[in-house]
């Protein structure tokens, strides 16, 4: 007997969204079996029965699982099963996390896991937005405390017109890849990549998505009303009132203000550490139950103090004005011998970026669920060592944060990169964090832009980036925007609104918030602040160091020349089992990439060897013609003549009568194997075969080609 379940449907952007409740995963706290077109995603939410001991944060995990069977593939590798989450899966998990996390109670300490299992993919119905909606529904109907729901919409822009949840064909040509998540009243998350979209158009797209999200929320409310469970009670985690009263007596407000009001992070950390040690000595043996709460109590006290200073006194911890950027510095060529390098410093945030160029064949291959994305020519990697914040920790490779920051800077620069036809290179930028005190991803964008220009990559425009912070009061109208937030303002503030772009428009946005959403005036104000600040950075700092891409590549960078051949001749260049192309590579030391359209890219550092490889390929694909001059090597001698190799797999015969002016009886008297000779093509003989002459090689010819 089939299990009874409830099914709900709505039309969303021209396709049907269906949610099955009670059909599967009944033991989870909440489960939604999502269908959008033929895309199927199972979303579940579970929570531990007891809070985790000894932590001062909410332990939320988001898992977006890509299964290769969803697109009819078997995973590669020896084990033939899915392993570590792909970069795309990590980024999607982060996009789901950002609008969900602020809506859980701040004092909730139970472990919560939201799992989104992608089971089938319809190319025209994105599994990412389906998973976001499913995560919201599964959590909203569960018994886990959650102030939702949220809804999410993807927005594209094709021929200047906005499209919602774009199809596969639309994603190929869109100038905008925007994801907007909303609550009932406000926008709670923005993620965007854009081809220099103007600020007013971006704002229009954000609030068009917000309007559509309200329809989705009304749909989710219907499901929650019928299927939602009563939210369970939980042990609230709060600082004891007696501890708070004693701490604020020992350290009055003016003392805490003096402790956090400092230009340098190290001074603030030293001040807080001294206060911590004083409290430890005060409570040890007297209030042992408070010892494990000192860190959290001091954190909350700092937060309250900083927020009050900013919101009420208009005073930032380092003394800057609300719209003032920290001291800036930039330089290029900081690292010798690499293909391009630059360093960007903003206050105590410092990024060194190194750019590397390579043949297209070294592009990253992607084996994922999106049929439109099979390779990545531009790669941006971001590293965050512990020394950058004065700590010590063994590096275990990039985590989700590092992957996210690298992807944001990558997305910021993609719109200005030259096409593969204009610049046939794979490009990798690596951002090394030397020092961190707020918004290293935006510093990475600036440093990477300069490194690309220093490397000679002909980018279309300069790209800068900056973040804007926020501190809110009791009402929607009571708020303060902060240009260029440092770490303390990020930790204790309500928003980290990152925007990158050119003088023409926006190339990327990432918005992280800790409150239940932003109003339109806040979003418009943040975008305007970021525009003004990035213009200042590009015009007064970056362009002073390097104004335009260099016209020549570094002498250490590989050079690439291209040859266009008839696609039918690709087999001649490759040869049987690759023998011809491998021989060219062995003789010249170059790398050769051949595209299906007949584009041959020759990559190397020695111009003479590259020219030799180019000429060899041209000989292989060019038909001989009368009067053509060539050079070659004697590879075979017969009684009637000698065979000359002009290029691997390309030979011609010189008859004994055409070897020299004088009559000879034996070719061996004049030629030996391995001799390098010049010949001229005499055209076809009576049997239709091309013949060549050594003795006539000095005569005038129509064309000269040297091998």
Query: Where in 52-136 does DSSP place strands (E)?
Result: 60-66, 110-120
pLDDT, position 505: 97
Matching residue, tokens 């993807």 = 154
- Relative to beta strand 599-604, strand 378-383 is unpaired
In the prediction, which pLDDT does 649 show? 80
pLDDT one-digit tens code per residue, 273-297: 999 999 999 998 888 889 988 999 9
Residues counted in the chain? 707
pTM of the model: 0.89
Query: What CA–CA distances, in Å, run from 251 to 244, 245, 313?
Result: 10, 10, 20
Q: How far apart are CA 615 and CA 610, in angstroms?
A: 9
Residue 707 confidence (pLDDT): 41
Q: What is the pLDDT of residue 411?
A: 97
Mark the ranges of the chain whose per-residue pLDDT is less than 50: 700-707
Helices of type H across 589-697: 607-621
Q: What is the per-residue pLDDT for 706?
A: 44
pLDDT at 34: 98
The predicted structure's pLDDT at residue 341: 98
Report helix, strand or coil for 512: strand
Which of helix, strand or coil describes residue 430?
Answer: strand
Question: Is residue 50 classed as helix, strand or coil in its secondary structure?
Answer: strand
Q: What angle do CA 67, 69, 72 make, to 5 degrees?
A: 140
- The Cα–Cα gap between 233 and 243 comes to 25
Tokens, residue 89? 């899966």
Other Cβ atoms closer than 10 A to 623 = 6
Quick check: helix, strand or coil at residue 99? helix
Q: What distances in angstroms separate CA 400 from CA 63, 90, 440, one per listed residue?
A: 12, 6, 15
The helix (run of H) or strand (run of E) holding residue 192 is strand 187-197
Question: Both tokens of residue 352?
Answer: 């060194």
Cα-based distances in Å from 468 to 42, 503, 691: 36, 18, 75
Which among 149, 141, 147, 145 is positioned nearest to 5, based on CA atoms? 141
Confidence (pLDDT) at 266: 86
What pLDDT, on the 0 to 100 scale, is given for residue 518?
A: 96
> What is the reported pLDDT for 702?
42
- CB count within 10 Å of CB 387 equals 13
CA dihedral 19→20→22→26, nearest 10 degrees, is: -80
Buried b (16+ CB within 10 A) or exposed e, 242-261: ebbebbeeebeeeebbebbb
CA atoms of 203 and 699, how far apart (whole Å) = 72
In a 3-state reduction of DSSP, which class is residue 216? helix
* Radius of gyration of the CA atoms of the chain, in A: 33
- Supply the pLDDT for residue 485: 95
Helix (H, G, I), strand (E, B) or coil at 130: helix
> Using CA atoms, how far apart are residues 428 and 362, in angstroms rounded to an integer?
10
Distance between CA atoms of residues 181 and 187, nearest Å: 6
Q: Among candidates 613, 495, 494, which has minimal Cα distance to 563? A: 613
- pLDDT for residue 657: 85
Number of Cβ atoms within 10 Å of the Cβ of 662: 7
DSSP assignment letter at 694: S
């Amino acid at each position: 007997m089939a299990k009874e379940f409830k099914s709900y449907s709505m039309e969303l952007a021209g396709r049907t969204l269906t949610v099955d409740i009670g059909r599967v995963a009944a033991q989870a706290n909440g489960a939604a079996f999502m269908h959008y077109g033929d895309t199927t995603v199972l979303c579940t939410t579970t929570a531990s029965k007891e809070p985790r001991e000894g932590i001062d944060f909410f332990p939320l995990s988001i898992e977006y699982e890509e299964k290769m069977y969803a697109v009819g593939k078997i995973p590669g590798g020896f084990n033939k099963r899915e392993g570590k989450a792909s970069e795309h899966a990590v980024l999607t998990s982060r996009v789901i996390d950002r609008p969900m996390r602020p809506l859980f109670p701040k004092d909730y300490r139970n472990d919560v896991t939201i799992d989104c299992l992608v089971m089938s993919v319809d190319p025209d119905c994105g599994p990412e937005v389906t998973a976001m909606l499913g995560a919201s529904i599964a959590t909203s109907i569960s018994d886990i405390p959650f102030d939702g729901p949220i809804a999410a919409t993807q927005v594209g822009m094709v021929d200047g017109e906005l499209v919602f949840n774009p199809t596969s064909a639309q994603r190929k040509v869109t100038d905008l890849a925007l994801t907007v998540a909303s609550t009932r009243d406000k926008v709670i998350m923005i993620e965007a990549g854009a081809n220099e979209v103007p600020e007013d158009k971006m704002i229009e797209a954000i609030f068009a998505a917000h309007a559509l999200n309200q329809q989705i929320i009304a749909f989710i409310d219907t499901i929650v009303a019928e299927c939602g469970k009563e939210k369970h009670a939980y042990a609230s985690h709060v600082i004891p009132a007696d501890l708070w009263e004693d701490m604020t007596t020992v350290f009055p407000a003016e003392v805490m203000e003096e402790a956090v009001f400092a230009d340098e992070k190290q001074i603030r950390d030293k001040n807080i550490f001294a206060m911590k040690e004083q409290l430890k000595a005060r409570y040890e043996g007297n209030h042992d139950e408070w010892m494990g709460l000192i860190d959290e109590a001091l954190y909350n006290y700092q937060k309250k103090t900083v927020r009050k200073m900013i919101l009420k006194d208009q005073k930032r911890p380092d003394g800057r004005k609300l719209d003032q950027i920290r001291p800036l510095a930039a330089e290029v060529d900081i690292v010798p011998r690499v293909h391009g390098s630059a360093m960007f410093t903003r206050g105590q945030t410092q990024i060194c970026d190194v750019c590397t160029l390579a043949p297209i064949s070294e592009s990253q291959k992607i084996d994922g669920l999106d049929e439109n994305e099979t390779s990545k020519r531009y790669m941006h990697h971001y590293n965050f060592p512990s020394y950058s914040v004065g700590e010590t920790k063994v590096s275990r490779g990039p985590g989700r944060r590092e992957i996210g920051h690298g992807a944001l800077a990558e997305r910021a620069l993609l719109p200005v990169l030259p096409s593969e036809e204009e610049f046939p290179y794979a490009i990798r930028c690596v951002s090394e964090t030397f020092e961190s005190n707020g918004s290293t991803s935006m510093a990475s964008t600036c440093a990477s832009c300069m490194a690309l220009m220093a490397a000679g990559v002909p980018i279309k425009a300069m790209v800068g980036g900056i973040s804007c912070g926020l501190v809110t009061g009791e009402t929607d109208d009571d708020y303060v925007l902060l240009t260029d937030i440092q770490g303390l303002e990020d930790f204790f503030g309500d928003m980290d609104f990152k925007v990158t772009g050119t003088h023409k428009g926006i190339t990327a946005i990432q918005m992280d918030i800790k409150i239940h959403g932003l109003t339109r005036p806040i979003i418009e104000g943040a975008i305007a602040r970021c525009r003004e600040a990035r213009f200042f950075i590009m015009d007064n700092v970056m362009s002073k160091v390097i104004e335009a891409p260099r016209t020549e590549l570094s002498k250490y960078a590989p050079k690439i020349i291209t040859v266009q051949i008839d696609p039918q001749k690709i087999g001649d260049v490759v040869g049987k089992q690759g023998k011809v192309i491998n021989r060219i590579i062995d003789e010249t030391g170059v790398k050769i990439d051949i595209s299906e359209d007949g584009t041959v890219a020759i990559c190397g550092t020695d111009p003479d060897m590259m020219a030799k490889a180019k000429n060899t390929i041209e000989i292989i694909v060019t038909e001989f013609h009368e009067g053509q001059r060539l050079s070659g090597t004697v590879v075979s001698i017969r009684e009637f003549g000698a065979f000359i190799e002009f290029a691997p797999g390309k030979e011609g015969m010189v008859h004994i009568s055409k070897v020299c002016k004088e009559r000879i009886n034996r070719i061996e008297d004049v030629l030996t194997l391995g001799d390098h000779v010049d010949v001229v093509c005499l055209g076809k003989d009576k049997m239709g075969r091309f013949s060549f002459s050594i003795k006539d090689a000095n005569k005038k010819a129509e064309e000269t080609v040297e091998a």
